[in-house]
Structure 1
Amino acid sequence: GLDAEGVGREAAEALTRFMETGGALDEHLAEQLLLPAALLASGRLGPVTPGTTRFTAARITGELTVQAEVLRRFLPVHIQVEPGGSVEVRPA
């Protein structure tokens, strides 16, 4: 295991890498937000006006890309995922 200084150093390095990406969300949070954004855009959240969600991810993962494709097949939404990290989810 790592000592406290090693853990702190790794955490600081990870934070520095994330901050250098310019993304508002890390890749894992981006994956987690895609489903609620698609539900909002599709109008499936009840009496809420369907809307558009935009965010930037620190990195586009394969999981995010696959999830976007699955959501496109099951919900009436347009999901645009750009290699640079920009994601947009809007009503179809």
Structure 2
Amino acid sequence: MLLIAVIAMVSCGPGAGERIRESPDQPEKRTYELLQPGLSMKTVEEAWGRPDSVEDNCYRDECLIVWIYKGYSNNRYLFFKDEVLVSWQ
């Protein structure tokens, strides 16, 4: 009975079902020093791994692809135009 309660607490606790990255794939462990404007998506993926989420953001006549890497304390956003890295935050 106690074992069932412990399992229930673990599986329903904060962040349950959330994808947790382990080092060295944690975004906090990645360094922006590796990034430079003009890098291709393939090069960034080789250095940082696959993003957790991908979004298309269009403003006026410009569309950017946003790669999102989810972290424990914050997320990292990489912005691509025509499959080339243009900025990040």
**Rg larger in 1 or in 2?**
2
Q: Which has the higher contact order (CA 8 A, sep 6+)?
A: 1
- Check whether TM > 0.5: no
Structure 1 or 2: more strand by fraction: 2
TM-score, normalised via structure 1 length: 0.29
TM-score, normalised via structure 2 length: 0.30
